[in-house]
């Protein structure tokens, strides 16, 4: 009862503040025409308050809006929609995008402006454009909207079209590559071309001495880089890596080109602990550590506990000598990328079964040979 009383009080305040040409005019929402009426002012306010209270009840009771969010983020335009309009728009979105209840609730709570978009014009036009322009199936379209709901309240002509065209032109992307970037990093469509995308791409190209082709490859392999801050993320990470591994600009460029996902990893939580573990466990000098990473920067993508250390232990046990295993992995760090369960262990058993001598040369073949060679 307290919530309903509160909704009515707010509804009356909203209704009272609605514009009216005169005290005896009301708006015919159904036909979109303004007619002179003899209905008294207070009866009009009472009717408008009833609509507002109905919509507030739906937003709170069905869509899970908190009272605070209702007051701060919900516009009068949404609250004064005819009874049933909000339900129609929400149901249309749920069916069109195959959304579950918690998904649609989260979407409209974070971006209530979506509810001001008409399903029969704005929403359907926008979704059809994205699906056609990016050659999206239903699953990818759904993923994009869930990842960046603001797209539904963005202008197709002024926002979506210019940004997609700019990215495709700037990076010389085919349609498949453009689709991949937007599916993986849909929030890219929320960034300004002039204030964000242009300076970010120019900075990356200059800092890493990239050709247009190499820049496009890095962005295609790691689309989320477009969502990272230069000053808060990319620049300090590159500076830290270059200093830690004593890399010149050319070497730094090669490392990032081979494994751009480095730019998405945390220094204190991933990069630094991985380097420290490798240096200590493999008994590496600073120079050897740098050479190891330059040979196999993908080591940053592996877990020490579930991948790197178990693989090291496999080679130590197979060779029966830690020093031999360490020397092997220093020279061939790409062996860390080989599946322990699908390749190394089964092939070692096969080699033993046929009487092969298990030495460094044998283990290199076990790790590196393709199926046909093996």
Give the tens place of pLDDT for each residue, 258-301.
999 999 999 999 999 999 999 999 999 999 999 999 999 999 99
Flag whether pLDDT at 186 surpasses 70: yes
Cα 115 from Cα 113, distance rounded (Å) = 5
Comparing 20-24, 60-64, 348-352, the range with the smallest average pLDDT is 20-24
Cβ contact 117:153 at 8 Å:
yes
Sort strands 25-28 and 33-36 into parallel, antiparallel or unpaired: antiparallel
10 Å Cβ neighbour count for 164? 21
Q: What angle do CA 79, 84, 88 make, to 5 degrees?
A: 105
11 or 251: which leads in pLDDT:
251
H, E, C per residue of 45-58: HHHHHHHHHHHHHH
Q: What is the pLDDT of residue 31?
A: 39
Flag whether pLDDT at 23 surpasses 50: no
Give the mean pLDDT of 121-126: 94
When pLDDT is cut at 50, 70 and 90, the band that residue 140 belongs to is very high
192, two tokens: 């300004």
Q: What is the pLDDT of residue 69?
A: 84
Q: What is the pLDDT of residue 135?
A: 97
Q: What is the pLDDT of residue 371?
A: 81
Q: What is the pLDDT of residue 2?
A: 55
Q: What is the pLDDT of residue 47?
A: 55
Flag whether pLDDT at 36 surpasses 80: no
The model's pTM is 0.80
Flag whether pLDDT at 14 surpasses 60: no
Strands (E) located in 82-199:
none
Provide the Cα torsion 226, 227, 233, 234; round to 10°. 0
Smallest Cα–Cα separation from 216: which of 165, 257, 249? 257
Smallest Cα–Cα separation from 276: which of 267, 233, 255? 267
Q: What distances in angstroms separate CA 289 from CA 20, 244, 246, 299, 306, one per listed residue?
A: 74, 10, 10, 11, 21
On the 0-12 / 13-18 / 19+ scale of CB atoms within 10 A, 297 is buried
When pLDDT is cut at 50, 70 and 90, the band that residue 34 belongs to is very low
The DSSP call for residue 36 is E
Q: What distances in angstroms separate CA 282 from CA 139, 255, 292, one per listed residue?
A: 45, 21, 10
Flag whether pLDDT at 326 surpasses 50: yes
181 or 47: which leads in pLDDT:
181
Cα 117 from Cα 121, distance rounded (Å) = 8
When pLDDT is cut at 50, 70 and 90, the band that residue 6 belongs to is low
Cβ contact 232:211 at 8 Å:
no
Q: What is the pLDDT of residue 108?
A: 94
Q: What is the pLDDT of residue 3?
A: 54
Give the mean pLDDT of 353-360: 90
Rounded percentage of the chain residues whose pLDDT exceeds 70:
87
Q: What is the pLDDT of residue 114?
A: 95
When pLDDT is cut at 50, 70 and 90, the band that residue 19 belongs to is very low
Helix (H) or strand (E) holding 35: strand 33-36
pLDDT averaged over every residue in the chain: 88
Flag whether pLDDT at 244 surpasses 50: yes
Give the tens place of pLDDT for each residue, 42-99.
445 455 788 989 999 999 999 999 988 888 777 778 988 999 999 999 999 999 999 9
Most confidently modeled of 165-179, 335-349, 354-368?
165-179
Give the tens place of pLDDT for each residue, 187-239.
999 999 999 999 999 999 999 999 999 999 999 999 999 999 999 999 999 99
Q: What is the pLDDT of residue 70?
A: 83
């Amino acid at each position: 009862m307290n919530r309903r009383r509160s909704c009515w009080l707010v509804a009356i305040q909203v209704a009272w503040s609605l514009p009216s040409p005169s005290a005896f005019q009301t708006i015919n929402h159904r036909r979109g025409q303004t007619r002179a009426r003899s209905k008294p002012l207070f009866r009009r306010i009472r009717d408008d308050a009833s609509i507002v209270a109905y919509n507030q009840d739906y937003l709170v009771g069905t869509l899970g809006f908190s009272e605070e969010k209702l007051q701060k983020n919900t516009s009068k335009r949404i609250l004064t929609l005819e009874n049933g309009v909000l339900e129609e728009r929400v149901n249309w979105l749920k069916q069109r995008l195959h959304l579950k209840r918690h998904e649609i609730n989260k979407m409209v709570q974070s971006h209530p402006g979506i509810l001001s978009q008409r399903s029969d014009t704005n929403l359907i036009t926008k979704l059809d454009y994205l699906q056609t322009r990016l050659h999206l199936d239903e699953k990818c379209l759904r993923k994009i909207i869930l990842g960046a709901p603001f797209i539904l309240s963005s202008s197709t002509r002024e926002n979506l079209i210019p940004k997609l065209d700019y990215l495709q032109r700037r990076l010389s992307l085919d349609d498949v590559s453009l689709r991949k970037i937007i599916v993986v990093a849909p929030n890219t469509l929320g960034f300004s071309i002039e204030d964000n995308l242009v300076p970010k791409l120019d900075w990356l190209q200059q800092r890493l001495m990239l050709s247009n082709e190499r820049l496009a490859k890095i962005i295609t392999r790691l689309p989320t880089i477009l969502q990272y801050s230069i000053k808060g993320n990319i620049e300090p990470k590159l500076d830290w890596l270059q200093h830690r591994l004593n890399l010149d600009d050319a070497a730094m460029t090669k490392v990032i080109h081979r494994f751009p996902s480095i730019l998405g990893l945390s220094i204190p939580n991933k990069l630094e602990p991985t380097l420290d573990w490798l240096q200590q466990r493999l008994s590496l000098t600073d120079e050897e550590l740098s050479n190891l990473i330059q040979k196999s920067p993908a080591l940053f993508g592996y877990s020490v506990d579930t991948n790197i250390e178990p693989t090291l232990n496999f080679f130590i046990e197979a060779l029966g000598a830690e020093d031999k295993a360490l020397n092997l992995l220093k020279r061939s760090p790409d062996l860390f990328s080989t599946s322990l369960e699908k390749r190394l262990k089964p092939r070692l058993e096969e080699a033993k079964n046929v009487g092969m001598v298990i030495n460094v040369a044998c283990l290199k073949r076990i790790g590196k040979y393709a199926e046909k060679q093996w």
